[in-house]
Each structure stands twice: as C-alpha cells, then as structure tokens.
Amino acid sequence: MAPTLADPFHDSSALREFVINQGNGVKGLSELGLTALPKQYIQPLEERTCMSNIVPQETIPIIDMSNWEDPRVAKSICDAASKWGFFQIVNHDVPIEVLENVKDATYKFFRLPAEVKNKYSKDHSSSNNVRFGTSFTPQAEKALEWKDYLSLFYVSEEQASALWPSICRDQVLDYMKKSEVVIKQLLKVLMKGLNVNEIDDTKESMLMGSMRTNLNYYPICPNPELTVGVGRHSDVSTLTILLQDEIGGLFVRENEGDNWIHVPPIKGSLVINVGDALQIMSNGRYRSVEHRVVANGSNNRISVPIFVNPRPADMIGPLPELIANGEKPIYKQVLYSDYVKHFFRKAHNGKKTVGFAEL
C-alpha cells in the first residue's frame, strides 16, 4: 500500500520498504506527487550543483567519425581523451533507429509495474548479471541519489535470452552489437596514440573483454536543487559509450578545478568517456574525468551507457609497451574484479577509486 502524503517518509524504514523492497524506486516516489524531497535524498551542500560553477561558454569536443582513420581525426580523438576525458561523436556507424529503439525500450521497462521490475532486484534476481536498483550503493550512502537503473552484464545471447527482461532485451543487444564497430575504431585510434600498433587477443580482452549496459531513469524531482541524479564519480570502465535523450543534465569537471561543463544533447550523437581502467592502462595519459548528473524538476530523463570493461579476471596495469619505452609506472597491477568491487562497496566520491591502483 502507498504511504499517505503528510510527511510519508519521516521513518527511513518506510522509505526503504517503498523504494527498495517493494521496487517502486524513485520513479514510484516521483509519481506519488510529493511536494517536498524526502530528507534521505538531501545531499550535503558541497555535493549539490552550484550554478555559479557552470561554465556555459565551454564545451567538450564534438568529433565527426566519418573519416576516423584520417590522422587529423585520430589526433582529435587522442587529444580529447588526454585533455577532457570526454567527447561526443557524430556520423558514427550506429544507426539512429537502433538508438531510438533502445530509448523506447528503456521507457517500456521503467513503465512496468513495480512488482515486475522488482523480480530483477538484488534480492530477487536469479543472477548478479541482471540487476534493477535505485541510487548507487544505498547501503553505503549517507544521502541517496535520485535515479533508478537496470544493469545488464553481457555473457552470451543464450544467457541474455534466459535472464534479461524481454521488454528491452533485443533492443539492448542490438545497441551493444551495433556499437562494437565504433568501440573498436576508438580503441584502435587510442592505442595507436600510445604507439601500441597491434591489438592482439590478450590486449583486446583487457580493453573490451566484458560489457555492461545500464538503463538509467531519472524521474521528475520535487526539489532538484537539493539532490543529485548521479553524484560525482569517474567510471571504472575502459570506455563508456553513453546515449542520452534530449533533456540534458550531464556535467563534466573541467581540469580538476571547480568548474563544470554541460554536455548538450545532440540528436544521433554518442558521448564517449575514458574510464579508470584506460587511465590505468595508459599510465595516466588518457584521463577518466569526474562527471555528475543533476536532478530535474520538470522532465523525466533517461540515458543508456555501455560500459566497455576488461574481464573481471584480468590483471590491469600500465601497458608493457609504455614501460618498455622507459616510462615510470604510476599504477600497479590490480585484479579488475577487485577494482570494481572496491568501487561498488562505497558511495560515489569523485576520483578517489583510482587511488586503489596507485603506486
């Protein structure tokens, strides 16, 4: 039964019950028509987005992928990965219908009744490879985040057929499959920029041996200025390929300072960012940069990142080619699954995860 509107979630166990245990998520909270944000979502002042720190005149690079092998295009990709850690690509090979279909499928999944979505929650899912959840790591967070998600770890078509929700399975598989071409193009260019001219099977596994797609849903929020959609973090991936809708709200940190730059939605584009695994493998030459998502008081927003990762059992560290060239390693070898577990066991705290691999 839904709680009444007069201070319905003063008691945190009632909030947990409604949002997490019953699978209503923040979408369910939003649809109750609350007039004030429950206190559990109020972020400390320093974590809220302050408009005076937004630099409206700055923008991350927009790169046309139609001539990706042209040395000037390749240079702009490597420069963007070193300077910004973020860029948008246009004229890539992922068909627009594939992108529209996965966005439609995302809405369809989140419109399912709570009890159906809840079959995929941490407590009910038959596999760790499919997880419906809310916030980031609710058990470790002092303040919750205003986001629900479905996370799908790809093992095989057979496993996806058996375990993934049928309402979005084919559209997510198609998006992942069609994105592989551009992922390989980007990795080829980025490796060449490090003088790594051959990507053999071992290297390919380390760069893109496992993939996870998240469907993110950020519902309308009663007091968006008091909370966040996603707190400051860097991704633990090699690369992230992010599809966002037309609403906007993703911000990227500029040069480790206090300034944040908006990533404007561009129809048909994909946002690319370097993750911690590539920062570590490139010995810091490519940067995984902090980003965050604001909450929105007027519109629901969705995004669909594909996290391109090493395999959980891979040891990652600075690439041997860089060290053989006389470069001093700044990271040690770490087991990727240890790195990921470290990330998920604590609340979002900016760039601190990479400290786990520092020498």
Ligand X SMILES: COc1cc(/C=C/C(=O)SCCNC(=O)CCNC(=O)[C@H](O)C(C)(C)COP(=O)(O)OP(=O)(O)OC[C@H]2O[C@@H](n3cnc4c(N)ncnc43)[C@H](O)[C@@H]2OP(=O)(O)O)ccc1O
Ligand Y SMILES: O=C(O)CCC(=O)C(=O)O
Binding site for ligand Y (CB under 6 A): 214, 216, 230, 235, 242, 244, 250, 291, 293, 303, 305
Q: What is the footprint of Fe ion within residues 213-242 (CB under 5 A)? A: 235
Name the residue with the smallest CB distance to ligand Y. Answer: 303
Q: For 288, how many CA atoms within 13 A lie in the half-sphere containing its CB?
A: 26
> What DSSP letter does each residue of 136-199 carry, written as one string?
S-TTT-SS--S-EEEEEE-S-HHHHHHHS-TTTHHHHHHHHHHHHHHHHHHHHHHHHTTT----
Q: Give whichever of 105 and 150 is closer to ligand X, judged by the CB atom.
A: 150
Asked if residue 292 binds ligand X (CB under 6 A), the reply is no
Note every long-range contact of 194-202, with CB atoms under 8 Å and residues 24 or more positions apart, other chains counting: 194/282, 194/285, 194/319, 194/321, 194/322, 195/321, 195/325, 196/319, 196/321
Quickly tell me which residue has 């369809």 as its tokens.
108
337 binds, among ligand Y, ligand X, Fe ion, none (CB under 5 to 8 A by kind): ligand X
Instruction: Select from 37-45, 62-70, 187-195, 307-315 the region that touches ligand X (CB under 6 A).
Output: 307-315
Q: Give whichever of 18 and 149 is closer to Fe ion, judged by the CB atom.
A: 149
Question: What is the rounded CA–CA span in Å between residue 16 and residue 9?
Answer: 9
Question: What is the rounded CA–CA span in Å between residue 97 and residue 256?
Answer: 37
Q: Give whichever of 74 and 152 is closer to ligand X, judged by the CB atom.
A: 152
Altogether, the residues listed in the chain come to a count of 359
Task: Please name which of 184, 356, 198 lies closest in space to residue 277, comparing C-alpha atoms.
Answer: 356
Q: What is the footprint of ligand X within residues 176-215 (CB under 6 A)? A: 210, 212
Instruction: Select from 55-63, 184-192, 217-225, 338-346 the region that touches ligand X (CB under 6 A).
Output: 338-346
85: which 2 tokens?
Answer: 């850690």
Instruction: Select from 1-9, 148-156, 265-273, 317-325 the region that touches ligand X (CB under 6 A).
Output: 148-156
Asked if residue 237 binds ligand X (CB under 6 A), the reply is yes
Q: What is the footprint of ligand X within residues 4-63 (CB under 6 A)? A: none
- Whether 309 and 280 have beta carbons less than 8 Å apart is answered as no
Asked if residue 149 binds ligand X (CB under 6 A), the reply is yes
281 to each of 4, 127, 306, how far by Cα in Å? 52, 30, 19
Asked if residue 145 binds Fe ion (CB under 5 A), the reply is no
Asked if residue 312 binds ligand X (CB under 6 A), the reply is yes
Binding site for ligand X (CB under 6 A): 128, 131, 133, 136, 149, 151, 153, 210, 212, 230, 233, 235-237, 275, 307, 309, 312, 337, 340-341, 344-345
